[in-house]
A and B are shown apart, each in its own frame.
Chain A
Amino acid sequence: MADFCGLNNISSGYFSGIGAAKETVLSFYDLERKEYQDKKVEKDLEIASLLGNAAKMQGKMIIHCHGSFSDADMAVVAGHVKKLVVSGTTEITFQSLGARIEREYDGETGLNLLK
């Protein structure tokens, strides 16, 4: 997605998507420790929902994406998506915004927030 934005001169936008994944890294942000707790899931999952946005930080494209994923029992895991390897397919609707949207580091939360 970051490459897609770069190649198409898109500096910001937002998206939603569905599909299937074979490997994901989902994450939970521990606000007190100011660090992400990662959970790697290496199994075939339906991508029940992906939502996210694209913005720039110091010239670099940042994709912020959250998602929900279900297994054979329809049980759901969800979180901040750090990695998502497609299995069958992933279908994303991306809408670009003309405005230049930037992120900047916020000392209080330890996160790169939209400014």
Chain B
Amino acid sequence: MKIIAKENNTYLLRFGKGEEVIASLTNFGAMNNISAGFFTGIGAAKEVILSWYDLEKKEYQDNEIKENLEITGLTGNIAKMQGKIIVHCHGSFSGTEMAVRAGHVKKLVASATCEIVFQSLGGRVEREYDDETGLNLLK
């Protein structure tokens, strides 16, 4: 990951070929003392795990896709839970026929490039486990 530009609380980040974006964003937060923020991004992926949350079973259904895809839209945030940085990211991805798949992004390996605009928040934003939904919600 490369910091292309930094201005006040805004970072323009580029992830290179083969980099796993969710883990790299987590590291970026830790290395730069960022405990909260939000982001959007575009680019291309060669491997993703997209997930759908089954609220009744309280579990994620994962769908691993190993093909080259355009990253047509990534939106997400960063918060902390018990001292650990949590990246929450959703995204939409398209293939050769421009058909789209989207979901909760658990893993995203960049192919050519992934360009993310990240804005840090000064406040300490925390997640906590919510029994009703089975999810770690913003509190």
Chain A residues within 8 Å of B, Cβ to Cβ: 12, 14, 16, 26-31, 37, 39, 41, 49, 51-53, 64-68, 76-80, 95, 97-99, 101, 106, 108-109, 111, 113-115
A29-B115 in contact (CB<8A): no
| Contact of A97 with B92 at beta-carbon distance under 8 Å, contacts A31-B112, A79-B70 already known | no
In the assembled complex, the Cα of A111 lies from the Cα of B112 at a distance in Å of 8
| Contact of A53 with B12 at beta-carbon distance under 8 Å, contacts A29-B112, A101-B5, A108-B17 already known | yes
**Chain B interface size, under 10 / 10 to 19 / 20 to 34 / 35 or more:** 35 or more
Determine if B95 is an interface residue (Cβ-Cβ < 8 Å).
yes
Q: Which residues of B contact A98 (CB under 8 A)?
A: 7
In the assembled complex, the Cα of A30 lies from the Cα of B10 at a distance in Å of 31
- A38, closest chain B residue (CB): B98
In the assembled complex, the Cα of A11 lies from the Cα of B119 at a distance in Å of 20
B7-A67 in contact (CB<8A): no
Q: Is the interface of B mostly helix, strand, loop or mixed?
A: strand
Q: Which residues of A contact B95 (CB under 8 A)?
A: 28
Among A12, A53, A77, A106, the residue within 8 A (CB) of B94 is A77
In the assembled complex, the Cα of A113 lies from the Cα of B13 at a distance in Å of 12
Determine if B120 is an interface residue (Cβ-Cβ < 8 Å).
no
A115-B4 in contact (CB<8A): yes
Q: Which of B50-103 contact A (CB under 8 A)?
A: 68, 70-74, 92-100, 102
CB distance from B63 to the nearest CB of A (A): 17
In the assembled complex, the Cα of A99 lies from the Cα of B92 at a distance in Å of 29
Q: Scoring B residues 1 to 22 as 1 if CB is less than 8 Å from chain A, else 0, what string do you get? A: 0101111001010100100000
- A99, closest chain B residue (CB): B5
CB distance from B91 to the nearest CB of A (A): 11
- B112, closest chain A residue (CB): A109
- B98, closest chain A residue (CB): A77
Among A31, A51, A97, A109, the residue within 8 A (CB) of B10 is A97
Q: Which residues of B contact A64 (CB under 8 A)?
A: 42, 115
Residue of A98, A111, A114 with most chain B CB atoms under a 10 A cut-off: A114
In the assembled complex, the Cα of A29 lies from the Cα of B45 at a distance in Å of 11
Q: Which of B9-44 contact A (CB under 8 A)?
A: 10, 12, 14, 17, 40-42, 44
CB distance from B85 to the nearest CB of A (A): 23
